[in-house]
Amino acid sequence: MKSLLLAGAMIIATGTCAFAQDGYWVVGDRATGTCEIVTSNPVINSQVGGNIYFGTGPYKSIDDAKLARSTIPQCPIVPEPPAGAPDEGKQ
């Protein structure tokens, strides 16, 4: 009976970790000196010795990630395009 409970707990823990991968993360890139918003967990996907020096998240929406990025002192200010302005590069 104990082994069944232990197996069930492990299955639930594994499933919880899999669901925690959804969302947006803010990561600091040491090579470029920028902070980017990514859709995959930077801790899991970064290689040892990589250029990522911090990662925060997950955030539920892109707007939440942008707000978080604006509050991180290491992140340079990213100007938002004015409302109604045409997107560059799109025709």
Task: List the structure tokens of 43.
Answer: 């801790």
Q: What's the chain's Rg over C-alpha atoms?
A: 18
At 60 the pLDDT is: 95
What tens digit of pLDDT does each residue of 20-53 get? 568 999 999 888 888 999 998 877 555 555 788 8
What are the start-end ranges of the H helices in the chain?
Answer: 2-19, 42-45, 62-71
Lowest mean pLDDT among 2-11, 36-45, 80-89: 2-11
Contact at 8 Å (CB) between 24 and 39?
yes
Contact at 8 Å (CB) between 60 and 72?
no
Beta bridge partners of 25: 38
With a pLDDT cut of 90, the percent of the chain lying above it is 29
